[in-house]
Chains A and B, each alone.
Chain A
Amino acid sequence: MDAFYAIAIFLSVLLLLLGSGVWVGLALMGVAWLGMELFTARPAGDAMITTIWSSASSWSLTALPLFIWMGEILYRTRLSEDMFRGLSPWMAGLPGGLIHTNIVGCTVFAAVSGSSAATLTTVGKMSIPELRRRAYPEPMIIGTLAGAATLGLMIPPSLALIVYGVTINESITRLFMAGILPGLVLALMFMGYVAVAARLSPSFAPQVEPLVSLTERLRNSRFLIPLILLILLVIGSMFFGFATATEAAAFGVLGAFALSAGQGSLCRASFVESLLGATRTSAMIALILAGAAFLSLSMGFIGLPRALADVIGSLELTRLELLIALLVFYVILGCFLDGISSIVLTMAVVEPMIRDAGIDIVWFGIFIVVVVEMAQITPPIGFNLFILQGMTRHEITYIAKAAFPMFMIMAAMVFVLIAVPGLATWLPASMAQGPG
């Protein structure tokens, strides 16, 4: 069997189905089905259902719906007001002023939510009108928000990292730990940019905040304490080995309920809405994962990943060249697909390449998340851009231009990761062994 012939058929059918608007999960199943029927003698239907059943009922996947639910509960609380009120007095003195509330707010919310869209809406809901009222430059408000919201996918809990871990059978806890330091470094890089840009830009002339006393600051931030405790509970329980990722997610859901009840935003309606919202989002991701599981089985039978890995191997790229090639590839792919779809779609073929090149698979998880998130703030398809368009009514091109500096910072972050791999690998190596 000619591998190139098979690759050509796979790719063209996949592009046809995806491009014409067939749902990603079903498109993957369709291509996988066709591939098995054309190139193998195995019964495609039975293989399909066995694979889909075992992937859908796997233990590691149980963390996903729970983390989604936790985010949905917090999304329906008063957190966005509390966040702005609690953070702004601390940021007022920094160069760049309250713009930093965007970045710090996103970082904090990212630590309880696995989605960058939820992070973006929660933080932006309050900070956009407040920053506008204080005459901060519009591109800066929007750009930093678009960029910093991508931290939602990097700082644990992260839906993209769960999906990555499930796809390649890697410990989700280790991936989560790997995301913490790079996420914080990226947030600092964003803040550094804001500080410098605020000093250099002549149009940066916001209303000056009255400086408030330390006690006043602390009093304003007291609403953030439960949130910080929740973050420590979820991430700490995993780091110190008290809980698996799924158990930490269960803590998270219970903690989110407690926080929501404490604020008085927990009622029957918000409970039902959060539950049904989480059900829909989990369904969406589960369908993609089911399709991807069958696609990787089908490609595996045909021998595609091996063949491609050999081709790549024969090119004798250095590790850096391979990573840069993948960077470009994912940014282009991300122009058409969302982050989670790009990850599951490609991992079956990319994983053997990465392993052959001797690249750490946990480290690569962080790399791929930064890269697919870069694509979320580039046109034509960038979910963060779309959401910001809905919130601000600006043109997509305007928002993309405002977010461009953040894109460059994330590109720089990729090279920081390559230069200092320890950022991603140190924490997972030093955490306590979990209960399984």
Chain B
Amino acid sequence: MTVLRRTLDTLYLGSGIIAACFMVAILAIIVGQMAARWFGITFPGAADYAGYCTAAASFFSFAYALKHDAHIRVSILLNAVGRHRRWLEVWCFAIGAATATLLARYAIKATVVSHRFGEISQGQDATPIWIPQLAMSIGTVILAIAFWDRLIRLILGHDVEFGSSLEEQGRGK
């Protein structure tokens, strides 16, 4: 059990770290593009590459952010139901698990389709689109795993304390 727990937690943290690396990549691409412009060199497709990195950073970070309670939700009712909170959380995590699974399913399908038909980006970068889409597939699968993981733990009654991570959620405000 502890091996599985540790593996999953490492998975979420690892995907967060990958997302962070893509954040650094966005910065590098933008700075590179500006530098290229000043030196009169063209950097074709820079905007597209930055876009792919933003997408990859987002998809890889979803599960990691969930783990840290950083995703916004309305918690009035959750706080009001007191000791019944666990069952309301089960409902939320069930909906979350279902939605994330759908997302992962169609993300994989889209990536496979792009690969099979050899779809190329419309932009100057001419990247085969399945490569950046791979990030979407992997990220949404990890998100789905994170939801199922927490849902099962909630139903089994493990680890049912809930942090209200106001500071995390407040950052975007």
Which residues of A are interface residues toward B (Cβ below 8 A)?
17-27, 29-30, 33, 45-46, 48-50, 52-53, 56-59, 61-62, 64-66, 68-69, 72, 115-118, 153, 159, 243, 246-247, 249-250, 253-254, 275-288, 290, 336-341, 376, 380-381, 383-384, 386-387, 390, 435
Contact: B96 with A26, CB < 8 Å? yes
- A interface footprint on B66-81 (CB within 8 Å = 1, 0 otherwise): 1010111111111000
Partner of A337, one of B26, B50, B55, B74: B74
Other A-B pairs, 14, CB within 8 Å; known A56-B55, A250-B30, A282-B61: A19-B74, A20-B77, A22-B73, A29-B103, A48-B102, A62-B26, A62-B47, A69-B27, A250-B27, A279-B61, A284-B171, A336-B76, A341-B72, A390-B167
CB atoms of B47 and A45 under 8 A apart: no
User: With A53-B133, A279-B61, A282-B23 in contact, is A21–B172 under 8 Å at CB?
Assistant: no
Partner of A250, one of B20, B31, B61, B100: B31
Q: A107: shortest Cβ distance to chain B, in Å?
A: 17
Among the listed stretches B1-9, B87-95, B152-160, which one makes contact with chain A, having 4 or more residues with CB under 8 Å of it?
B87-95
Q: List 27 A-B contacts (CB under 8 A).
A: A21-B73, A21-B75, A22-B95, A23-B73, A30-B95, A33-B99, A49-B107, A53-B136, A56-B136, A57-B52, A65-B54, A116-B173, A117-B170, A117-B173, A253-B27, A279-B61, A279-B64, A280-B68, A283-B19, A284-B169, A285-B172, A290-B58, A336-B74, A381-B76, A383-B173, A387-B167, A435-B37
Judge whether B88 and A20 touch: CB under 8 Å: yes
Known: A26-B100, A153-B173, A282-B61. A56 touches B166 (CB 8 A): no
CB atoms of B173 and A339 under 8 A apart: yes
The B interface is mostly helix, strand or loop, or mixed, namely: helix
Instruction: Name the distance in Å between B16's Cβ and chain A's nearest Cβ.
Output: 6
Q: Does B168 make an interface contact (CB < 8 A)? A: yes
Contacts of A159 in B (CB 8 A): 172-173
A-B pairs, 8 with minimum CB distance = A286-B58, A283-B61, A283-B65, A117-B170, A57-B55, A45-B106, A250-B30, A56-B55
B57 near A279: Cβ-Cβ < 8 Å: yes
Do B168 and A280 touch across chains, with their CB atoms under 8 A apart?
A: yes
- Tell whether, in the assembled complex, residue B95 and residue A17 are in contact, meaning their CB atoms are under 8 Å apart: yes
Bound state CA distance, A341 and B57, in angstroms?
A: 20
A287, B26: Cα distance in complex, Å:
18
Given known A279-B64, A386-B166, A390-B167, contact A56–B59 (CB-CB < 8 A): yes
Q: Is the CB of A48 within 8 A of B167?
A: no
Checking A153, A243, A282 against B57 with a beta-carbon cut-off of 8 angstroms, the contacting residue is A282
Distance in Å from the Cβ of A285 to the closest Cβ of chain B? 5
In the bound complex, do residue A45 and residue B105 qualify as a contact, i.e. CB atoms below 8 Å apart?
yes
Name the A residues within 8 Å of B96 (CB-CB). 22-23, 26
* Count of chain B residues near A, Cβ 8 A: 65
* Proximity bits, B21-50, A CB within 8 Å = 1, else 0: 001101100110110010000000001101
Instruction: Tell me the nearest residue of chain B to A376, going by C-beta.
Output: B173
> B residues within 8 A CB of A276?
16-17, 20
Interface of A is mostly: helix
Chain A: CB-nearest residue to B47: A59
Which residues does chain B contribute within 8 Å of A69, judged by CB atoms?
23, 27
Q: Which residues of A contact B102 (CB under 8 A)?
A: 33, 45, 48
Q: Is B11 positioned at the interface, with any CB of A under 8 Å from its CB?
A: no
The contact of B54 among A33, A52, A61, A384, by CB within 8 Å, is: A61
**Across-interface contacts of B31 in A (CB, < 8 A):** 250, 254
What residues on A are CB-neighbors of B26 within 8 Å? 62, 65-66
Chain B nearest CB from A25 CB (Å) reads 7
CA distance A281 to B65 in the complex (A): 8
Q: Is residue B138 within 8 Å, beta carbon to beta carbon, of the partner chain?
A: no
A56 B99 Cβ-Cβ under 8 A:
no
A273 to chain B, nearest CB (A): 11
A49 vs B68: C-alpha distance in the bound complex, in angstroms?
A: 25
In the assembled complex, the CB of A266 is this many whole angstroms from the nearest CB of chain B, namely 15
Contact A277 B74, beta carbon cutoff 8 Å: no
Max chain A Cβ within 10 angstroms of own Cβ: one of B31, B58, B167: B58
| Cα–Cα distance between A48 and B20 once the two chains are bound (Å) | 26
Interface centre among B24, B73, B89, by most chain A C-beta atoms within 10 angstroms, is B73
Residues B51 and A338 in contact, CB atoms below 8 Å apart: no
Q: Are A58 and B74 touching (Cβ within 8 A)? A: no
Whose C-beta in chain B lies nearest to the C-beta of A75? B171
- Supposing A21-B88, A59-B50 touch, asked if A284 and B173 sit within 8 A by C-beta, the answer is no
Partner of B62, one of A48, A287, A384: A287
- Whether B71 pairs with A21 at a CB distance below 8 angstroms is no
Give every chain B residue within 8 A of A33 (Cβ-Cβ).
99, 102
Best-buried of A247, A283, A383 by chain B (most CB within 10 Å):
A283
Interface flag for B128 (CB, 8 Å) = no
In the bound complex, residues from chain B placing their C-beta under 8 Å from that of A49 are 103, 106-107, 109-110, 136
Beta-carbon contact of A115 and B51 below 8 Å: no
Within 8 Å CB of B132, what residues of A? Answer: 57
Q: Which listed residue (B55, B72, B75, B166) contacts A284, Cβ 8 A?
A: B72
Instruction: Check A288 against B99 for contact (C-beta < 8 Å).
Output: no
What does the 1/0 interface line of B100-127 toward A look like (CB < 8 Å)? 1011011101100000000000000000
